[in-house]
Structure 1
Amino acid sequence: MTTNTVPATAWHDAVAEAVSTHPWLAYVGAIDGAGERGQDPDIIVVCRVENHDGDDSTISTRVPRDHGTLDSVVDVLAGASWYEREIHDFFGVRFVGPGADHRPLLIHEAPKPPLRKDVVLAQRADTIWPGAADRAASTSRRLPAGVPDPATWQRIKDGENVADTEVIAAMTGRRPRGRRAASTSRTASRR
């Protein structure tokens, strides 16, 4: 098994090189790199190909979260079209070049790509979560995944433009480092 992380500009060539020795497509997918504190704003795109010996090769790259584009690999791996359309629907990465298919695959209209960590799962936020009653005495988080704390959710519903990093922090129960550092510097300047 080999793993190769390449810049976005080298994505197509790296996949084509891997396909020369590993001709079968296993998977093309994406991950939102925004961690618990929103420190990594990129979308990570991964392609895994295999050969007849069961050996596999994985190529990954990073694409900017906003208006990220990546060269399509459909001319090298025809089966990648479905995956590329899915990645565009769910993460917002646009594939360009020969063979790129820009038709929506599963989601025809959405304000934001739904699998990004900064997207609030609105239906969950407005529904009482059954686990909250079971864990009422617990000090652990009582909200389902994908739901920010009630104060942040109310601000979003009221139409306030809440920063993506703040939404992610409100869903994980942790505040971004930048905010804590900013509040600490304000406190220090008041002294």
Structure 2
Amino acid sequence: MRPLTGLSDPGIAIGAVIVLFCLPVDLKRGVFALTWQQACKIPWGILILFGGGLSLAAALKASGVTEFIGRSVSGLENLPAWAMILLAASVPAMASELTSNTASTAILLPMFAAVATGCGIDPLLMIVPATIGASFAFMMPVATPPNALVFASGEMTISHMCKAGVWLNIVGIALVMLHMYFVVLPVLGI
């Protein structure tokens, strides 16, 4: 029997924090790897925000909402390939600005796979640009940990991030479309 079969990711995280509180750095002076003062300075709101996004993705997938949306989007089968690629890259790019890119990908990829299957096309035509598009989270602090850290420094405002990020998103989506047409589609034979 395996001794750690019931251990979950949250259990591992809590165990690691307990170890850090108990791990002595200098036992004579009573210095430990993590102090309560240090723990209070951790940006817990950001961690809870990412955890909430992942929980939302899991709930939407478990409840069948992603499959329902994928099946109910009719009329997309008549769109040309470039429009499907544009849609597949743009939606995750926009969604990643409101939730973490990990949560956006977890929510949207099953939905895009269901849409592609319902339209009778290869799911990779939508999944590849959606996966790359979810990485174009340049505008909002909630999108990625690096964005949150930059915003938390106090040196950047959301308006500064949005002004630069919107152009990065547009250029990124254009590059995804070119990459799909000239590299991915010929390689996959779609």
Q: Please identify the structure whose Cα radius of gyration is greater.
A: 2
What is the TM-score of this pair, normalised by structure 2?
0.24
What is the TM-score of this pair, normalised by structure 1?
0.24
Bigger fraction of residues in strand:
1
Bigger fraction of residues in helix:
2
